[in-house]
Structure 1
Amino acid sequence: MKWKFNISDIDVRSINSGFAADYEFYLRTVRNCSNNSAVKYIKNFQKIINICLDNEWINKNPFMGYKSKIETIDVRFLIDLQLKNIQSKKLFSEWLSIVRDIFVFCCYTGLVYIDVKNLTKHKITRGIDEGLWIKTKRAKTKIEASIPLLAEAHEILKRYENHPKCVNENAVLPVLSNQKMNEYLKEIGDLYEIDFDITFHTARHTFATTVTLNNGVSLETVSKMPGHTNIRMTQHYAKIQDKKIGKDMLLLKIY
């Protein structure tokens, strides 16, 4: 509204198809939103318009005839060899090593940046199997994530239990700012010759594919652990590699 009309508020009855078209143009050009981001913003705006229609505050839908489609994004993740290589290679910098360890921890837990930053000792408890589990509510959705702590993740936690930053902040890992962590991750990706920019979401994708689905964990279980709201979200994150497909198809081969 400020960009087009230089106002901060508008009568809902003034919102017409031209306003809707201008809003989409603004998102895609001025704000430089990707297709999926623009579509999500417009769909959120449509929810407000639907409330107005239901209450008869307006009598015509300005989005009548508007068509939008979320594009499927090819998510990137680390394969087995890349993950093992990142875990084992010695780094020359202390903070690079710390960021690498936190990233690997997320690869084995599926946690995103904000959830691993907020992870404290009381969120790690004994589960029904007497093993250690992460029990935390996701910051984004407020849905509980229940994740058994794998040996690789547990080893990293033990490595930092006496780190000054962890002790002072009641944290389990010395997590830096999101911007700083991603700067270090880009450098780590270059050092390990990863052919794409790795971020914390790369770790989440890696957990869903390389660590779980490709090792026979069911889609339903993978969906429950990171606290997805529905299984379609897991299908978006998860890609099954050729190795898993080949292993499954062996059951059908006749010798």
Structure 2
Amino acid sequence: MRDVFVFACYTGLSYSDIAKLSYHHIHKGDDGEDWIIIDRNKTKNRCRIPLVPNALKILRKYKDYAWNESQGLLLPVRSNQKMNAYLKELATICGIKKNLSMHVARHSFATSVTLSNGIPIETVSKMLGHNSLRTTQVYARIVDKKISDDMKKLKAIL
């Protein structure tokens, strides 16, 4: 369950999209890299997400997992309720005070993985499959580091 959560942190996919993720969602992009191309369950918007090495590593780990092969899926995903229960248990064991859930992984992708590393909000919005930039701004808790980095760029220009 931990790997599915981490995979969500690296891709921004929701529980329902990861639960249906199969081999036909993986494509080679024009850049020669592996991408997930999937229509979101919730909005039906197409998401195009380049796979970072750590996400690919997780997919490779489960490549020959018997349950995945029989179902045609990429990851061993249990029910959302069961996933969230495991995550709560994992948080307790690790001393994490935050209420971990699959949605927290999506939020982490938007804030910690992408925005705070300089990925433009418009790009993040497209990868998350949002209908509007306004929806993404809910996730876009701008951190002090991002503000500081942006201001350094401005100071260099001025």
TM-score in terms of structure 1 length: 0.59
| Equivalent in the alignment of 2:20 | 118
* In structure 2, C-alpha distance between the alignment counterparts of 1:110 and 1:124, rounded to whole Å: 15
* In structure 2, C-alpha distance between the alignment counterparts of 1:172 and 1:138, rounded to whole Å: 16
Q: Does 1:173 align with 2:75?
A: yes
| Equivalent in the alignment of 2:30 | 128
| Equivalent in the alignment of 1:195 | 97
* In structure 2, C-alpha distance between the alignment counterparts of 1:241 and 1:190, rounded to whole Å: 26
Q: Which runs of structure 2 are paired with 1:213-228 in the superposition (5 Å)?
A: 213-228=115-130
Aligned partner of residue 224 in structure 1, secondary structure: helix
| Equivalent in the alignment of 1:152 | 54
Aligned partner of residue 146 in structure 2, secondary structure: helix
* In structure 2, C-alpha distance between the alignment counterparts of 1:180 and 1:154, rounded to whole Å: 24
Q: Which runs of structure 2 are paired with 1:223-234 in the superposition (5 Å)?
A: 223-234=125-136
* In structure 2, C-alpha distance between the alignment counterparts of 1:247 and 1:194, rounded to whole Å: 29
Bigger Cα Rg: 1
| Equivalent in the alignment of 1:208 | 110
* In structure 1, C-alpha distance between the alignment counterparts of 2:124 and 2:154, rounded to whole Å: 25
* In structure 2, C-alpha distance between the alignment counterparts of 1:140 and 1:203, rounded to whole Å: 17
| Equivalent in the alignment of 1:236 | 138
Runs of 4+ in 1 over 3 A off after TM superposition: 251-254
* In structure 2, C-alpha distance between the alignment counterparts of 1:213 and 1:202, rounded to whole Å: 15
| Equivalent in the alignment of 1:103 | 5
Q: What stretches of structure 2 of length at least 5 have no aligned partner? A: none
Q: Which runs of structure 2 are paired with 1:46-65 in the superposition (5 Å)?
A: none
Give the drift of 1:248: 2.2
| Equivalent in the alignment of 2:64 | 162
Q: Which amino acid aligns with 1:171?
A: L
Higher helix proportion (structure 1 or 2): 2
Superposed CA deviations along residues 117-137 of structure 1, whole A, max 9, x for unmatched, are 000001000011110000000
* In structure 2, C-alpha distance between the alignment counterparts of 1:224 and 1:191, rounded to whole Å: 35
> Looking at both structures, which has the greater relative contact order when contacts are Cα pairs under 8 Å and sequence separation is at least 6?
2
